[in-house]
Structure 1
Amino acid sequence: MTKNPSARLSALALAALLTGCSFIPTYERPAAPVATQWPGETTAQAAAQPVADIPWQSFFADARLRALVEQALANNRDLRVAVLNIEQARAQYRIQRADRVPTIGVGASGTRTELGTAGSTTAYQVGLTLSSWELDFFGRVASLSEAALAQYLATEEGRKSTQITLVASVANAYLSLLADEELLELTRQTLATREDSAKLSKLRFDNGVASELDLRQAQSLLEAARATLAQLQRQRAQDQNQLTLLVGQPDWSQRIADLPPTKSLESAVLMTELPAGLPSDVLTARPDIRQAEQQLRSANANIGAARAAFFPRITLTAGFGTVSSQLSGLFESGSWGFSAAPQLLLPIFDGGRNQAGLDSAKVQRDIAVAQYEKAIQTAFREVADALAGRATLGEELRAQQAQAEAEAARFKLSDLRYRNGVASYLDLLDAQRSLFTTQQAVVQTRLAQLQNQVTLYKTLGGGWTGQP
């Protein structure tokens, strides 16, 4: 084997010239830097039907919610931008792919050259032209085309990820509106109760049975309920505005007016049994992780283009047509001509530009690897958090419902004891506050449980499939 570097380079160039080659490194998917099973799971099994394959129409049983999701998929601007990004990436890929074939056009030219005392020459030419087509023996253009293809595929996955987020956001906003309605109704009932208590306290005070302290406490509790009602009305308006933004239609409420209404959060039915599956199956099926992997593939392909820059770049410019010294003779018999001008450029000294380009491409690949691994770790944490919520929110809701029942019984007893002069008014006010707080907590925990189910569906990759 020769030790001459020039000879080795010449041999490699000759082999590439004869067979064509690619300097793209062999792609290997990085190992997932996460555990092989979810936290708290003693055994992990592959899901019979991956959640990513469950259409959102099957997951959401509420007719109004399904109608809202359909409107959002048709009108949401973020999703529309994601679709347009696909079109733009597709066009960029087609532009890059077009560099692999010659560009042929029709050209006409005329030149006149003055030769001093010898006179002048004139030449006219009309015909087909091929300009600066790179003969891609070393795979530079092919590498750039492959990188553009990976970027295009990444935008496809990005659109799916945007749809998943949109579906989950619409569902959570809709559930928040249902919770707002329940809290408003609960607050109105509490306000009516406190108005009765304030009237009773005023009557007892006027008759000298109760002190002014009891009266002021009742008035304070009444105003607190009114303040809570105003806060909830503001929150409901803001949640409605959020849902309008997501759906993309200001008249969405009229569009679903004919559908059966959902009376409460408790009647909002979701598919609760979602198989978690194996992390290796779930995470590689998520569009955001596939998007990160396509970006990694693109960065890997750019290394091939940077490596090819060290080798000769061969371009060809050619023309075929008619040539004449006079315009009238351009299309006469025997006036055809052909020209070919191949050009080879071998970089010898470039001030380190090519080496810097290769180093930059490698660093970009390493960055893409880190981003891919971070995407997997983030997804793993999202699924683990949702599974933890599923394991605990049910018990929390059960305990709070039991507490609310106990507080309701306590309030009735306190009211009865106060009316019969056995207990103080302070005991009654404390029972009222505790009951209201506990009832609010029940609604909020039920909302958290339903939204956690939506989040689990989202984090397991569900929501981007079309019609079942």
Structure 2
Amino acid sequence: MKHIIGVFVLTSLINLVNAQVNPELSKLIKQSFEYFPRLKELEKTTEMGEVRIGIARSNYLPSFNGNASYNYVDPVGEASFPVGPTETRTIQFQPHNNYNANISLNQVLYDFGRTQAQIDKAKSDLQNNQYNREAARLQLASQVATIYFGIIYLKEAIQLQDTIISFYIVNRNIVEGKIKQGDALKIDLNNVDNNIQQEESRKIELQRLYNRQLALLKYTANSNEVPSTSDFHLRRIANDESSLQANPEVLAATQRVLSAEADLKYAQHQQLPSLNVVANAGFRNGYQPDIEEIRFNYLAGLNLTVPIFQGRRLKQNILLSRKNVELNEISKSNLSLTLQKDLESVQADIQAYGKQIESYDSQIATANEALRLNRVRYERGVAIYLDLLNASTNLQRALTSKLQYEYQQCLGYIEEARLLGNKFWEE
């Protein structure tokens, strides 16, 4: 069992505050950022938000349009005028064939803050999309770290099983020798064989879980690399352990409130008037005295639009936007309370796991000494095989439990980092 102790010397420490970034884990996380489809989707959403800001700002720019039309009109207005004692002349006020081609200009001169409200709303939506992307990145990093340390845990557990199986095989040889000497019973050998089969069955289950973790690593980070380290190395960042202000989910919830307020402001500005400059220049016919001649023409002026009544749609939109602000404020409060509860729970778990790990250190030392004494006593014929089996089982349970608690504590640190918004994979 000395080999078992040697395995756990390598896995007994978790690097905490001021530890170096795990380069292998950092590489996998950054690789997952480039590969995982969900992040690519959120990045495209962010790019669309930037385009929406440009669209909103374009309302400040003039719009030019080219127009061309042809109309045939019949009948047309005409009148007869006397031009002499016996002569009249018919004047046609409009040609049958009407041609018109021009370029028109429409420029917002002043819209009482309507365009700026639309820009502010687009900016707020963009910031919200960026926080959502950061939340997804942190969630993915936590998932990759969980898989990474899960592979390490299962690899160490499999090595422990191999050592335990080797220990039982050595015991089997000892029991076989004692049977030949008449100092042991055949049932002792059957018990050893049964123990070996049980441990091999546990190893098969651990190997199945190990392969599943490798498949998950391929899915999230597109990597088949097996972690080369054998410890639970996770960088912790020294900060306020009770503050959730850096959590991107909280930042996104705050931004959703601001976005809803910007939407309310935009809805309120829809009630305000808009003053535009309008102009066009082109060619058309229909001018007296020769109505068939196509002539150059232009116009320029101002256009004031004042909303008066739209079937209460504007007021209903304002009311809906105000309710949306209230809803987002409630959602933010609920999210903050939930995350605070989760943070306090995981920190309580981390503290408890630390105490349990310290407790198992002394248990392992005691169980290892008990196993050594029982082996000596069994070889000298003072103890029975059941005493040796109980001693080895106690040491196995202590080692396995300590490994499990170290792994659970590491998962707790990962969840704590996610809740606090700590980027443990960055320098």
Whether TM-score is above 0.5 comes out as yes
The aligned residue for residue 446 of structure 1 is: 406
**2:132 counterpart (158, 176, 192):** 158
**1:277 counterpart (218, 222, 240):** 240
2:320 is equivalent to residue 360 of structure 1: yes
**Contact 1:136 / 1:142 at 8 angstroms: preserved in 2?**
no
Cα distance in 1 for partners of 2:257, 2:19 equals: 33
Cα distance in 2 for partners of 1:183, 1:70 equals: 28
What is the CA RMSD across the aligned residues, in angstroms? 3.3
**3-state SS of 1:285 partner:** coil
**1:124 counterpart (88, 96, 99):** 99
The aligned residue for residue 239 of structure 1 is: 213
Structure 1 residues 137 and 90: alpha-carbon distance in aligned structure 2, compared to 1, 3 A threshold: same
Cα distance in 2 for partners of 1:101, 1:59 equals: 54
1:271-323 Cα shifts (integer Å, max 9, x gaps): 45x434275xx4333322221111111111222233334x3654758441212
Equivalence map 1:220-369=2 (5 Å)? 220-250=194-224, 252=225, 261-262=228-229, 264-265=230-231, 268-272=232-236, 274-277=237-240, 279=242, 282-309=243-270, 311=271, 314=274, 318-325=278-285, 335-338=296-299, 342=303, 344=305, 346-348=307-309, 350=311, 352-369=312-329
Which 10-residue stretch deviates more, 180-189 or 234-243? 234-243
The aligned residue for residue 402 of structure 1 is: 362
2:171 is equivalent to residue 171 of structure 1: no
Higher CA-based Rg = 2
Which 10-residue stretch deviates more, 198-207 or 157-166? 198-207
Q: CA deviation at 1:383?
A: 3.4
Q: CA deviation at 1:135?
A: 6.8
Structure 1 residues 72 and 134: alpha-carbon distance in aligned structure 2, compared to 1, 3 A threshold: same
Structure 1 residues 165 and 349: alpha-carbon distance in aligned structure 2, compared to 1, 3 A threshold: closer
- Please report the TM-score for the alignment, with normalisation by the length of structure 2: 0.79
Equivalence map 1:78-97=2 (5 Å)? 78-97=38-57
The one-letter code sitting in structure 1 at the alignment partner of 2:401 is A
Q: CA deviation at 1:227?
A: 0.8
The number of aligned residues is: 391
Cα distance in 2 for partners of 1:434, 1:115 equals: 110
The aligned residue for residue 29 of structure 2 is: 69
2:389 is equivalent to residue 429 of structure 1: yes
Q: CA deviation at 1:410?
A: 1.8
The aligned residue for residue 411 of structure 1 is: 371
**Contact 1:100 / 1:142 at 8 angstroms: preserved in 2?**
no
Q: Using the aligned pairs only, state the percent identity.
A: 17
1:146-183 Cα shifts (integer Å, max 9, x gaps): 22210101111222222223333333322222222211
2:109 is equivalent to residue 148 of structure 1: no
**1:104 counterpart (64, 80, 92):** 64
Structure 1 residues 93 and 224: alpha-carbon distance in aligned structure 2, compared to 1, 3 A threshold: same
1:220-268 Cα shifts (integer Å, max 9, x gaps): 2111100111111112111222222222345x45xx9xxxx42x21xx5
The one-letter code sitting in structure 2 at the alignment partner of 1:421 is G
**Contact 1:100 / 1:136 at 8 angstroms: preserved in 2?**
no
Cα distance in 1 for partners of 2:341, 2:108 equals: 48
Cα distance in 1 for partners of 2:31, 2:314 equals: 51
Query: Structure 2 regions of 5+ residues with no counterpart?
Result: 1-17, 79-91
**3-state SS of 2:244 partner:** helix
**3-state SS of 2:315 partner:** helix
The one-letter code sitting in structure 2 at the alignment partner of 1:299 is A
Query: Structure 1 regions of 5+ residues with no counterpart?
Result: 1-57
Cα distance in 1 for partners of 2:98, 2:306 equals: 29
The one-letter code sitting in structure 2 at the alignment partner of 1:443 is L
Q: CA deviation at 1:141?
A: 4.0
The one-letter code sitting in structure 2 at the alignment partner of 1:109 is S
The one-letter code sitting in structure 2 at the alignment partner of 1:126 is A
Structure 1 residues 205 and 135: alpha-carbon distance in aligned structure 2, compared to 1, 3 A threshold: farther
Cα distance in 2 for partners of 1:417, 1:173 equals: 44
Higher relative contact order, structure no. (Cα contacts within 8 Å, ≥ 6 residues apart): 1
The one-letter code sitting in structure 1 at the alignment partner of 2:103 is L
1:114-144 Cα shifts (integer Å, max 9, x gaps): 335757544333332246x777635444333
Cα distance in 2 for partners of 1:298, 1:305 equals: 10
2:330 is equivalent to residue 370 of structure 1: yes
Q: CA deviation at 1:403?
A: 0.9
**Contact 2:132 / 2:249 at 8 angstroms: preserved in 1?**
yes
Cα distance in 2 for partners of 1:464, 1:418 equals: 51
**3-state SS of 1:295 partner:** helix
**3-state SS of 2:73 partner:** strand
Structure 1 residues 334 and 464: alpha-carbon distance in aligned structure 2, compared to 1, 3 A threshold: farther
Cα distance in 2 for partners of 1:110, 1:134 equals: 29
**1:455 counterpart (415, 418, 424):** 415
- Please report the TM-score for the alignment, with normalisation by the length of structure 1: 0.73
Structure 1 residues 278 and 201: alpha-carbon distance in aligned structure 2, compared to 1, 3 A threshold: closer
The aligned residue for residue 170 of structure 2 is: 196
**1:183 counterpart (144, 157, 160):** 157
